[in-house]
Structure 1
Amino acid sequence: MAFIHRELRHKLHLYARKGGKKSRRRQIERIEIFVEWCRRPAEQIGRRQVHEFFQAHDFAPTTARDYYYAICQLWTLLGREGKPPSPPFLGE
């Protein structure tokens, strides 16, 4: 995980310690997959990369929704304002 620095890794660890363990663990896996797919540090990921990620993958609607919620959590952990762009069919 070369693109996830120590501070973000620590925040992910703290996030995983609360709530449903399997759900949190899976959400962290999705965050890691997304960040690695972007091939850049998490702090440099923006709306464009989110759009490209959903365009590059042919996810089932529920899988896309799960990735969207994981990316929303990443946005929160990074201290970003607002929400990331949603997959086209979610219409959020």
Structure 2
Amino acid sequence: MNHPLIDRQLDHRLKLYAAKGGKVSRRATVRRVRAFIEFCQRPAAQIGRRQVHEFFEQRSFSPATRRDYHRAICLLWRLLGRSGEPPRPRSPMA
């Protein structure tokens, strides 16, 4: 499943990631990465901190889902060769 916003190299790295370790968990992480890129509507290489903030501000996730999406975005950061980590999601106000 090659998506136009995901280049071939990133797609290949995501497939390699999903093929190792705990299959169910890794496949779910890859789905989250793809959903995040789809939300951003731009090539993965053009995604930055601003898009991460917008993603979490526009979605109301449970704490566990926020954590899972943050881990998926951290994976995306690593696969893109970015230094550091993406911003953490802010806790929603009660």
Compute the TM-score of the two structures, normalised by the length of structure 2: 0.93
Quote the Cα distance in structure 2 between the aligned partners of 1:60 and 1:16.
24
- Aligned residues between the structures: 89
Gaps of 5+ in 1: none
Q: Does 1:84 align with 2:86?
A: yes
The AA in structure 1 aligned to 2:65 is T
Residues 1-92 of structure 1: pairs in structure 2 closer than 5 A: 1-89=3-91
Q: CA deviation at 1:29?
A: 0.1
Quote the Cα distance in structure 2 between the aligned partners of 1:70 and 1:77.
11
CA root-mean-square deviation: 0.6
The AA in structure 2 aligned to 1:79 is G
Quote the Cα distance in structure 2 between the aligned partners of 1:19 and 1:70.
15
Gaps of 5+ in 2: none
